[in-house]
Homo-oligomer: A and B are copies of this chain.
């Protein structure tokens, strides 16, 4: 019997089994963001792709509607540690960082898929507790786990895809000079908690807990969309780094005013204990999943949003008019 598929009619000449590769140019050399740029160059567009790669979530049309989708991969030892966080906390955080991406588009998340890989000797109850954490976080906004995959690996891998809907998706590219910049949620809490945990401390509890389980201000995303936010993103890598994505996508400069930031007590406590300016946590700490957005200057901000800066002509992100000294935020492969 021949091949039941018959000739495939697939022109494979575009693909090479022995592609010329430069082994000297590694993923680490390029870095996370340049690698993503190179990948996105390969990806075509389609009529059904209303928003493609480069925002917090993509938007895909269906017959009669559309949905938002975003994905994240979390690796044990890099994104979470079993000696720092319980299984339920790790599940909550994995859900939160993905649900936040939908919120950052001005949408409401309603579905998740969870791909999970782990060593065979992991306690089955650990997985059940992790899923309870997922379900708990999803329940805040009515989202549900709709599917998943389970496989074996040496280290735990949690791959999450979140989906949802938005009346009017807010992209990173709409900020204009003259707009104001505002944030909702927490800034610096998780970063301070991470710094404390990294030095072997287990307190202050509020900061450490903030690192273990973020509390994204989910409702502030659609709220911002409703009052005309011109751009928005969530703060996963650090305020300066993520505001930088808005600045690049919008072709503008952003200046933060340090006097606008009030330092929360747990953040101040960690700063004092470690001899670090607590503003560093606020400006460069990741993992709180605050939202940062831009609005026209006339916008009356609801109480959930705090004005922290302005959009101007130019490029880059500054604090009180000058570039911020020190690390701007987290980048993988560094």
Residues of A at the B interface (CB closer than 8 Å) are: 1-5, 8, 10, 12, 14-23, 25-30, 32, 35-36, 38-39, 42-46, 48-49, 51-53, 57-58, 60, 62-67, 69-75, 78-79, 86-89, 92, 110-111, 113-129, 131-133, 135-136, 139-140, 142-155, 157, 159, 161, 163, 165, 184-186, 206, 215, 217, 262-265, 306, 332-333
A sample of 14 inter-chain contacts (CB < 8 A) reads A16-B86, A21-B87, A21-B125, A25-B125, A46-B142, A49-B144, A62-B65, A70-B147, A71-B113, A71-B115, A73-B157, A79-B151, A113-B161, A159-B159
Q: A164 CB to closest chain B CB, in angstroms?
A: 9
Task: Decide if B117 touches A1 in the complex (CB within 8 Å).
Answer: no
Task: Decide if A124 touches B38 in the complex (CB within 8 Å).
Answer: yes
Task: Decide if B19 touches A86 in the complex (CB within 8 Å).
Answer: yes
Q: A269 CB to closest chain B CB, in angstroms?
A: 13
Asked, given contacts A8-B215, A23-B123, A27-B119, whether A152 binds B75 with beta carbons under 8 Å apart, the answer is yes
Which residue of the partner chain, among B21, B64, B144, contacts A46 with CB atoms under 8 Å?
B144
Docked complex Cα distance between A133 and B42 (Å)? 10
Asked, given contacts A3-B186, A27-B124, whether A14 binds B132 with beta carbons under 8 Å apart, the answer is yes
Which residue of the partner chain, among B72, B136, B142, contacts A115 with CB atoms under 8 Å?
B72
Most buried by B among A16, A25, A129, A161: A161
Most buried by B among A51, A63, A265: A63
A142: B residues at CB distance < 8 A: 46
Which residue of the partner chain, among B4, B71, B117, B332, contacts A185 with CB atoms under 8 Å?
B4
- In this complex, what residue of B is CB-closest to A261? B1
Docked complex Cα distance between A210 and B244 (Å)? 45
Task: Decide if A135 touches B18 in the complex (CB within 8 Å).
Answer: no
Q: A286 CB to closest chain B CB, in angstroms?
A: 13
Asked, given contacts A19-B129, A48-B111, A144-B45, whether A332 binds B150 with beta carbons under 8 Å apart, the answer is yes
Docked complex Cα distance between A113 and B165 (Å)? 17
Q: A41 CB to closest chain B CB, in angstroms?
A: 8
Task: Decide if A150 touches B32 in the complex (CB within 8 Å).
Answer: yes
Most buried by B among A78, A115, A146, A185: A146
Q: A65 CB to closest chain B CB, in angstroms?
A: 4
Q: A23 CB to closest chain B CB, in angstroms?
A: 5
- Supplied contacts A27-B123, A115-B159, 14 more A-B pairs, CB within 8 Å: A5-B186, A10-B215, A19-B125, A30-B124, A35-B127, A43-B131, A45-B144, A62-B165, A67-B67, A71-B161, A72-B149, A73-B157, A155-B155, A163-B163
Which residue of the partner chain, among B44, B70, B87, contacts A19 with CB atoms under 8 Å?
B87
Q: A260 CB to closest chain B CB, in angstroms?
A: 12
Task: Decide if B185 touches A5 in the complex (CB within 8 Å).
Answer: yes
Docked complex Cα distance between A25 and B26 (Å)? 41
